[in-house]
Structure 1
Amino acid sequence: MSSQTNSAESRTTVLKRKRLVRASLAQQVADALRDAIIRGELKAGTRLVEMEIAAQMGTSQAPVREALQRLEQDGLVARRSRSATYVTEISMEEMYEITLVRKVVETIAACHTARYITPEQCDELEELVQHMHEVASVESMPMLARYDMAFHSRIVEWSRKDILVRVWTPLKYQVMRFLVAIHPDVFSNLAEVAELHMPIIEAMRKKDPAAAMQAVEDHIMLFWNEERITTYLNSHRELTALTRTEG
């Protein structure tokens, strides 16, 4: 009886290890592909073939398939047929809509986080801004975007609202991708991007929910000046008119 029990425990241990290894591989593949998409190395419309990716990364197709499913949940890829997966397009219209959702999520999070935040957590936010300055000095927008989203993720995570975290997680990858794509036309000095986070920290240190909400909203909507919003609205009207005509 004892030997049978030991044998069963041994099989269970092996199975758990296999699941962990596979999960780890899928995460590594997802991270590598996500990073390439955010950096713009994998362009919109690029077809992602499971067999080719598996060969390049030295793994089987199963972890690749799981990784692509994760990226699909993030909105970075889309499956158009049973075997064809493509990097999604990124448009100004979609990003404006994502920004509006992001504004709602982050302002609510900021309101709650401002009540609970500790001095040590404020220090952590300042450290992330310092990291942004460091990578700005070598003009690495992908790394700056990573620290930028880490900053905003902390505010959402510290809100103690799980639903906000669930909504925020896929949004942040789209925002990172957008920042990397548009920064040459918008930000002449990357150090300015880092410095734009300081009003949020100041409001957090004061534990002022209203000020924190306003600082976050101002920060998020800074990119969307009147000209860009007008472009979005005009595009939306044209799309609506076309849909009605076709109907």
Structure 2
Amino acid sequence: MAPRASLPETLAARMVEAMRAGELAPGERIIEASLAARFGVSRGPLREALKALEGEGLVERRPGRSPRVAQVSPEQAAQMVVMRATLEGMAARLLAARATPTQLKELEAQHARILTAAKAGRVAEWRDADWHFHELVCRASGNEFLLRAWLSMSHLVRLFLHRHPAFEGGAFEAAGEGVLLNHDHLLAALRAGDPDRAEAEFRRVILDSGFRRLGLTPPAGIPA
């Protein structure tokens, strides 16, 4: 049985959801008294939660000023795309060399959830399911340090994706089909058990989709 989350951990998770929902907007000043009253807690555990979110880059704090919800610039987002492509490419390489039928079935089931949500037009749901697909790959890689690195920036990446205009829009034809086609390629590479192909395919998909939606060109020296 998984250990029960502490109050600060629970508060941190609730604040992340509020950020993703737009209830706490990027750059917004965080008033501790108001937030404590909103969640019905004292300021002690709230401060611990804010400190944890600060460590994840989700909260920014300057000397003598109230903390604020982090803002991610397009340049920072581009850097995160490169890091994500690198980490997931390696995760795919490791997984392709050791994937079990059970692991592949789990990924295929997650792909089916994305398809169902996308066809129904449930945009937030299929985007969350898509992100979970990539998290499953990192978890199945068997490398705990790779997973930690991926998770350390995951909330920040997702907040940017949810709030950036280039990643919005609910049409399945405009967004969902591209995601599903990408997943077909990613799953095929993993099923083939070819580490080189799996790493290259994951890296290609993440770099292409990330930089295309940002309207930027990948920096020189990044392999396609």
Deviation sequence 1:119-138 (CA, Å, 0-9, x none) = 11111111111222222234
Name the residue aligned to 2:183: 197
CA distance in 2, matches of 1:214, 1:40: 35
Name the residue aligned to 1:184: 168
1:19-168 correspondence runs (5 A): 23-81=5-63, 84-168=66-150
Instruction: Indicate the RMSD between aligned Cα atoms, in angstroms.
Output: 2.5
SS in 1 for 2:168: helix
Say whether the 8 Å CA contact 1:132–1:191 is kept in structure 2. Answer: no
Say whether the 8 Å CA contact 1:39–1:177 is kept in structure 2. Answer: no
The structure that is helix-richer by fraction is 1
Letter in 2 for 1:229: L
Deviation sequence 1:147-181 (CA, Å, 0-9, x none) = 22211111112222122112111222122123222
Alignment partner of 1:229 is 2:216:
yes
CA distance in 1, matches of 2:28, 2:119: 31
Say whether the 8 Å CA contact 1:103–1:220 is kept in structure 2. Answer: yes
Letter in 2 for 1:171: M
Deviation sequence 1:67-114 (CA, Å, 0-9, x none) = 112221221111123561101112211100011111111111111111
TM-score, length-scaled by structure 1? 0.77
Change (3 A) 1:225 1:191: closer
1:165-176 correspondence runs (5 A): 165-176=147-158
Say whether the 8 Å CA contact 2:74–2:214 is kept in structure 1. Answer: no
Structure 1 stretches lacking a partner, 5+ long: 1-19, 234-247
Instruction: Provide the aligned length of Structure 1 versus Structure 2.
Output: 212
Which stretch of the first structure deviates more once superposed, 148-157 or 217-226?
Answer: 217-226
TM-score, length-scaled by structure 2? 0.84
Name the residue aligned to 1:11: none
- Larger Cα Rg: Structure 1 or Structure 2? 1
SS in 2 for 1:32: helix
CA distance in 1, matches of 2:195, 2:214: 30
Structure 2 stretches lacking a partner, 5+ long: 220-224
SS in 1 for 2:60: strand
Sequence identity, in percent? 29
Letter in 2 for 1:148: D
SS in 1 for 2:114: helix
Say whether the 8 Å CA contact 1:47–1:86 is kept in structure 2. Answer: yes
